[in-house]
Structure 1
Amino acid sequence: MFRLHFALLALAWALLQIDLIRIPLPQAYASPTPTKKHWKSQRPESSYARRNFETISRIYNLTVYPNQLPIFQAGGVGVPKGLFSANPVGRVDPVGTFTDFEHSIEYFFALSPLPEANPVRAAITGYQITEFSSQCRNVAASIVYLYCSVVNPGSPDHGKPLPPLKQVAFWRFNKCGAVKKYDAWIPNLNSWFEATTASYVTDPVFRNASIEQICGATQMRCQGPNAQWSSVGECVAALSQKTYGSYDEVWGDNIVCRSIHLVLTQVRPDVHCPHVGPTGGGKCVDVAYPKNYFSDEALYGQPTGETFMCD
């Protein structure tokens, strides 16, 4: 059985995908989906800048539907060699910190939405690197726009543009040009979610419906040794007493955090089922600000301020 290894996106992809239990996946296209032109001004001049740009571009291209499908179907072996080191670590605000290959791959690719798995039929269908700088061999910075649209062939809405997402990121590469550390931020994530779905996290009706969906999906995916609740009713009663949260603050003992990890129960239920359960499994737990956002030394193993500076 396929077990996917680790981000991208977001965080709010979660509630878009909570209807996905086990669906047949279409075959990936033979060639990558064409992307929007991604040079804002001029191409990087140095060989290492071009190398770093290409690595980042290839990573984001794999978030474009259906380019992520081989990774869903084959797991970590579906990730092309040379994109990530064997043990990458990083932070993505407002989602969390990731400390190994499996978790990093899950963030960048397992959270990239499948149109078959959400009622809006949303997917990332293009990207544009709007800003890029790499002044030394091992460090780069980028701003990327992730363009979203409806993917529903035969429907009049097919191709309809949806609100885009932005990701601002710093990257550190190993000597072979693979990413080994990253620090990224997705601004206005909650606004993106509400504009895309026309659902509002402050709406009591939406909150109640989403809790019931989360609980129903949890009971179907988390069974046997991975079971978290004795019944859907017990789950609904317990989660209804918790803070709902916002997609601008996914960390916490809240419903939004559990919606993110619910998506990942499809790929590694033994790891992620505890995160959607009553205790949060060490992931969906309250952590006092600013611990998670400023844990640079613990996460990167370097003094704060040195990880993404040129040597």
Structure 2
Amino acid sequence: MRTPIYIVLLVLAGHAFGAPSLEQMLGFLKQFGRDISYPANIEAAKSINYTGFSEGRHIVGRVDVTGTFIGRELNTEYIFGLFSGLATGASTSTPLVGIPLNQTIIDLVIENNLMIVTTRRDFNFTVAVVPTVWQVKFLFNDEGIVTQYDAIVYRASALFANIWPRLRKHLIKELGLPHHTSQTMAIKIRAARDICSQHEEYCLGPNKQFESKEACMRFVLHKIPLGEIWQAGQNTTLCRYIHTPMLPLRPAVHCPHVGPTGGDMCFDHSYETLLENPFPEPFAALPNNLTLAGLAGQL
């Protein structure tokens, strides 16, 4: 007697791990939405170890415009520390990437241990409060703790094409620049002053990346491009600006990211490497505990 294909697939799927409860996943979503918003993100960043993320290096996170982060410490710093640092650090007056204020859920899908959520979130850019739309895929372990996430910002290039011209006018006045200063240069000067002042304060001794503040300014202003938002994880001024708020948290780790080499974060990636999958598991939640591997022959 021939065994039906669906029975074979169920056997191939094996014994599934216990799934987290709906209450655990919704509880995470509610708390995460609060914690990433200002001012709660300040306390979340200070923890360095966000308890909603899996311990140690058992958490992999990716944000499409910045890059991939491995481990609880890095993910805590870059998800919460970036925005809290912009709100309280060197660039308080004019954050170039904005500060998150709130969250409204637009779409929500939950199946087994997978959650896909689309949110609308306002960001404060000083010159305007601007809506953004994010989609994040979360994968949970059986205790309701996130083991991996993948986030995208919808129409990120259009967002910054909309806000940076307004920032230019504000920055020219704030920095005392000539009225004909270009948008790129006004933003680079704001970023360079923040990067280099924070480097001078926190990157000391063996963590020092530049001989002087002047050398830092020359490098940031003239040796690397500002970069577009999709290059926020490449060898650009924008990448170093994004990494600057983390300098007070762990200088030994983050000072190389703002230096000439960019450390293991701010360096150029090929298109092919940008497409590489960093996740140990697929974001898949199929009926009856089926797996992608088990369905491979049917797809």
Q: Tell me the TM-score normalised to structure 1 length.
A: 0.71
Which sections of structure 2, spanning at least 5 residues, go unmatched? 1-19, 169-181, 292-299
Residue 130 of structure 2 aligns to a residue whose secondary structure is strand
Partner of 1:34: none
Partner of 2:167: 199
1:208 aligns with 2:183: no
Q: Is the 8 Å Cα contact of residues 214 and 262 (structure 1) preserved in structure 2?
A: yes
Deviations 1:4-57 (A, max 9, x none): xxxxxxxxxxxxxxxxxxxxxxxxxxxxxxxxxxxxxxxxxxx94443232122
Q: Is the 8 Å Cα contact of residues 45 and 77 (structure 2) preserved in structure 1?
A: no
- Runs (4+) of structure 1 exceeding 6 A deviation are none
1:266 aligns with 2:248: yes
Residue number among 87, 100, 119 corresponding to 2:93 in the alignment: 119
Q: Tell me the TM-score normalised to structure 2 length.
A: 0.73
Higher relative contact order (CA 8 A, sep 6+): 1
Residue number among 231, 235, 254 corresponding to 1:249 in the alignment: 231
Residue number among 137, 143, 146 corresponding to 1:170 in the alignment: 137
Structure 1's 251 and 74: CA in aligned 2 closer, same or farther, altered over 3 A? closer
The offset of 1:139, in angstroms, is 0.7
The offset of 1:263, in angstroms, is 1.2
1:90 aligns with 2:61: yes
Partner of 1:71: 44
Residue 230 of structure 1 aligns to a residue whose secondary structure is coil
1:220 aligns with 2:201: yes
Q: Which amino acid letter does the alignment assign opposite residue 235 of structure 2?
A: D
Structure 1's 211 and 66: CA in aligned 2 closer, same or farther, altered over 3 A? closer
Residue number among 118, 129, 137 corresponding to 2:112 in the alignment: 137
Residue 133 of structure 2 aligns to a residue whose secondary structure is strand
Residue 131 of structure 1 aligns to a residue whose secondary structure is strand
Query: What does 1:49-68 correspond to in 2, within 5 Å?
Result: 49-68=22-41
* Greater fraction helix: 2
Structure 1's 145 and 188: CA in aligned 2 closer, same or farther, altered over 3 A? same
Alignment length (residue pairs)? 247
Which sections of structure 1, spanning at least 5 residues, go unmatched? 1-46, 152-159
Structure 1's 182 and 95: CA in aligned 2 closer, same or farther, altered over 3 A? same
Q: What's the % identity of the aligned pairs? A: 24
Structure 1's 249 and 177: CA in aligned 2 closer, same or farther, altered over 3 A? same
Larger Rg: 2
CA distance in 2 between partners of 1:102 and 1:279 (Å): 22
Partner of 1:109: 80
Deviations 1:245-293 (A, max 9, x none): 012321211111100111111211110100100111121111101313x
Task: Name the Cα RMSD after superposition.
Answer: 2.7
Q: Is the 8 Å Cα contact of residues 59 and 146 (structure 2) preserved in structure 1?
A: yes
